[in-house]
Every structure is written in structure tokens, then in C-alpha cells.
Amino acid sequence: MDSWELAALRRLIRTALAVNAGLDLGHILRLIIREAMASVGAGSGAILLYSGAGRVKVKASVGLAPEDIRSLESSQAGSLCPILERLPHGVSPPAYMIVPIICEDHIIGLIVLLASAGPAVTGADSEVREAILSVFAEHAAMAIELEKARSERQSRAAECDAPPRDGDLCDRRCTINLSQVSIMAHELRTPLTSTRAYTQLLLQARLGDISPRQKEALEVIERNILRMARIINDILDMARIREGRLVLTKQVVNLCDVVNSVIQEVTPLADARKIRIEVAVLTDITGTWDKDRIQQVFLNLLDNAIKFTPPEGRIVIRARIVGDFVQAEVSDNGKGISRKKLARIFEPFPNVDIREREPGAGMGLGLSICKGIVEAHGGRIWVESEEGAGSTFFFTLPLGESQSPGES
């Protein structure tokens, strides 16, 4: 590993520690921009966050004059490049790098770095520079998410100081507990994201060559990081649902495309247990839904079906139009669900009692998240099951666009 790569890694660790320490957001963003500049030899830079009406706000900057900041903030987000080219540079022609800051799959801002008069960092190719800067951007995103979560926690704490209305004390306690878990999930995601970023840098041999045995060990680490990330994302989704903050990005969606995409993802798991997946879905069912969220519903239901279906078992996915709704079904010939568990199967954390926990069962957030997503679309979800005879999960979604049914 080159000396500049080691120096960049140390700078990344410094910013990760600052984020995890919960320091002031402004302080963290200034640290990130300074360390990012030093890592790639930039002469000046800024962190820009999108504000309303397509504008940007400079949240931290180094080496930019007040008039430069005013130029950036007065421009439209889509026309930043001409502005950047007019800012003072140490090289000709003007050179700059832009890295997106992404929160929950949305670009919320940018890291902008302008070249200095001196040479670029020796030996630093563009791919490695981009990889390092993307980690700095992830650190900025985590700091912003944590600040937002702390602000929401303070707001909820203020609300809880007011005397409760009759009958809402239990709901309030549940919301408080879930919000505390949500804050903890945000705190866990900070070091986890950094660990994943470093693991990917190592796997891609961007920080030096690795042996086949080291590669195998790193792949095990990455799989477990992704598993932990899914658990954290489930906790955050559940908190958003309970607090009414689940945002749906709706578009016209073909249900058959969603089902095919999910099947492609779960087929290796089903094949490993020799489970057959059959599909009977109308090819032209379309609706105005959040494609990623509906995919998440099918994925959670299929994950459960595969987990509790015996080897060489069978899972069937069906979808049909019923009035103004599409009704989807995921059936399995597994062991079924007891009446006692059926009563609370869509509640969050139904598996908290370790004495009743099924082998391989998770925390039990998946079905509760499915319920929240389906109901946010204006549909409903339910299950029919009999012990020893398998289970069928049903859910409905309102149809938003005209459709012409055809069997697949």
C-alpha cells in the first residue's frame, strides 16, 4: 500500500470517529471537507446540501471566498458546473470533482473539490480517488442522518412532556421505545457503513493485492455486514411506519416485472433447499405504486416462505384482479402457523420471547413492515394458515392505471 493510501485511510478513520462521537454537524462537515481535500490534493472545496426550489446551501467550505459561496448558493442545482468553472482554480483548464451525498437512495447534496496549483497526489488513479471520496460522502450522509434523528428525538421528547390523552399512553410508550431503537440503529449504521466501505476497497484490491484466502475471508465479512445492514434498515423502516414518516415514490409499475425480479433474487436460496417456486400472475397488471416497496413486500413474504418450507417443498405466487384492486398471494406447504402466533403475526417484534422463537427466525419485523407498506398504498394484508397444512399470505393494492389481463 502506498504512503498516500495509508494517509487517506487514516483520514477516513478520523472522520468516521468524529461521526460516531456525535460531534456538532458543522464541525463534522468541515472536518470531512478538509480531510477529503487533503486525500486527493485539492486546493479548496465545499459540502453543498440541496434546499428548496432546486437551490443548494453551502454547509461547510475551505478555501472559498464569500463571493464564491454566494455564487454557488444563487445558482440552480442543475447548473453548478458552469459556476464551478468560473471559480478561482490553481490549474488551467479548470479541474474539479463532484461526489454525491446519498441518504436513503436520494441525493441530498454534493462534495465539491477544486484542483490546486500543485500536482495531484502521486500514484492516485481516478478510480481510487473516487472510491475514497465516496466513503467521505457516506460519512457526511451518516452525520446528516444522525443529526436529523437526534432532532426528531428531541421533538418527540417535548411532545411526551405534555400530559397524555385518555387511551394513548400505551401507543406513546410503544412509539418512544421504537424511536429509541431507531436512534440506536442510526448509531450502529455509522461504523457499519465505514466497515463495509473499507471491506470493498480491500476486496477490489484498491489498497493493495490480496491473496485468495484473504479474499474469501473478506467476502464472509461483507456478507455479514450486509445481513446486519438489512436488520438495521428493517428497524428504521419500522420506525418510519409507526411514526407516519414512510415516503412512497409512486410510478406506474408492472406487477409481473416486480415478481420476476424478486424470484431472480430468491432463486439461489430456494435452489439450495430444493424448493420449487411456481408463478401464476397476470402479465399486464399495472398500478401506481412504489416499485421498490412492493418488491420489498414480495421479498419478505418469499423469504419467510422459503425459511419455513421443508426441503423439496413448493411455493406458489398468484396475482389477480378483484374489483378495483389487485390481490396477490404467496402460498407454501410448510408447517403452518399456530393460532396463538396468528393473532400477533403482523405486530413488530413478535419473536422477542426466545422460548417461543423458531430456529432461523429473525426479530420478526418483516411482516410488520409488509403491513405498513401495503396499508400506506391503501391496501390490506392478511394470512390464512393451518398447522401442518402450510400458509397463504394475501395482500391487495389499489389499481391506478388501466390494465389488460393476460396469463404468464
Residue type, 62: V
Assess if CATH 3.30.565.10 describes domain 251-398.
yes
For residue 82, whether the previous peptide bond is cis, meaning omega lies within 30 degrees of 0, is no
Beta strands in 22-65 (DSSP E): 42-50, 56-62
Class at the top of the CATH hierarchy for domain 1-124:
alpha beta
Q: Which residue's C-alpha cell is 410503544?
A: 174
pLDDT at 289: 95
CA pair distance 396, 373, nearest whole angstrom: 11
CA pair distance 11, 35, nearest whole angstrom: 6
Domain ranges of the chain: 1-124, 251-398
pTM over 0.75: no
Sign of CA dihedral 348, 352, 358, 361: positive
The long-range contacts involving 168-177, CB below 8 angstroms and separated by at least 24 positions, are: 174/242, 175/242, 175/243
Q: Show the cell assigned to 115.
A: 484542483
Sign of CA dihedral 113, 118, 119, 122: negative
Using alpha carbons, select from 403, 366, 367, 104 the residue that is nearest to residue 253.
403
CA pair distance 19, 32, nearest whole angstrom: 10
CA pair distance 143, 45, nearest whole angstrom: 18
pLDDT at 357: 42
Spatial CB neighbours of 81, under 8 Å, sequence gap ≥ 6: none
Where the chain has pLDDT below 70, the residues are 1-2, 52-53, 77-79, 85-94, 116-126, 152-187, 190, 349-364, 400-408
Backbone phi, psi, residue 299, to 5°: -65, -45
Sign of CA dihedral 237, 278, 350, 311: negative
Q: Show the cell assigned to 174.
A: 410503544
Sign of CA dihedral 224, 230, 234, 235: positive
CB neighbours of residue 132 within 10 Å: 27
pLDDT at 116: 63
pLDDT at 29: 94
| Helices 366-376 & 212-242 angle (0-180, nearest 10) | 50
Q: How far, CA to CA in Å, does 27 sit from each of 19, 22, 193, 323, 344? A: 10, 10, 20, 56, 45
